[in-house]
Amino acid sequence: MISWGLTAPNCAVNGMAALLLREEWRNSPDGELIRQRLRRMLENQDADVRMLASRALPLITSQEDLSEELCQRLSHEESKSINTVLIRVMAGHASADPGGIDQCLRRMAEMPAWAPLAGAAENRTISPGQRHSEISDAVLQTLLYLHLERETPFASALIANWQQSPEQYPATIRRLVPGPAPTSTPRARPSHPDKPGPSPCSAA
């Protein structure tokens, strides 16, 4: 679960992202101004502000550029909460651009922070529960979707490697539950900001 502090800047960013979910605001004269402000917030020094702005990436970035934008941000972002949001957006975008997301995962595998994607054997000195978090559910579901539904090269090769050497990836293999291939994007957040419920900002 992602949480954030109830501050004026956070509420402002969350509110702007919520407005862009509404078609009348996206298409209004103020829509472009909101997009520009949210894009500036992506570079804010405050991690909560960056995280909230990242939820709106699909609404402030063209569909053609979204995969590359995600890959660039995942390559240098150090905040776990922001990376969680970016991965959710990536999972939601996989059906629209399977090749681009597959390439993004391949590039991520070259980075030390995403070593499990490189096929490195699990560290057996770490408990299975902790190993579970090395590849998040959203990443695993995206890989499965790309492999089973789209047969993209990186995802298919990585999963084949896991299957060929199950003794090296026991925690991961246990999560690959047999079943029918997904019919659409894997079970992950949609490629737009989480639909807001009653905002805590309004109660302040």
Residue 180's pLDDT is what? 43
Residue 127's pLDDT is what? 82
Structure-token pair, residue 50: 């960056």
pTM (predicted TM-score): 0.84
Q: Where are the domains of the chain?
A: 97-186
Distances (CA, A) of 140 to 8, 72, 136, 145: 35, 20, 6, 9
Residue 113's pLDDT is what? 87
- Which residue stretches of the chain are H helix? 8-20, 23-26, 29-41, 47-54, 57-60, 63-76, 80-93, 98-108, 128-132, 137-145, 153-164, 170-175
Structure-token pair, residue 166: 């199950």
The ranges of the chain with pLDDT < 70 are 1, 132-133, 177-200, 202-204
Residue 184's pLDDT is what? 44
Structure-token pair, residue 136: 């998040």
Are the beta carbons of 194 and 20 closer than 8 angstroms?
A: no
Residue 202's pLDDT is what? 61
Are the beta carbons of 101 and 67 closer than 8 angstroms?
A: yes
Q: How far apart are CA 96 and CA 184, in angstroms?
A: 10
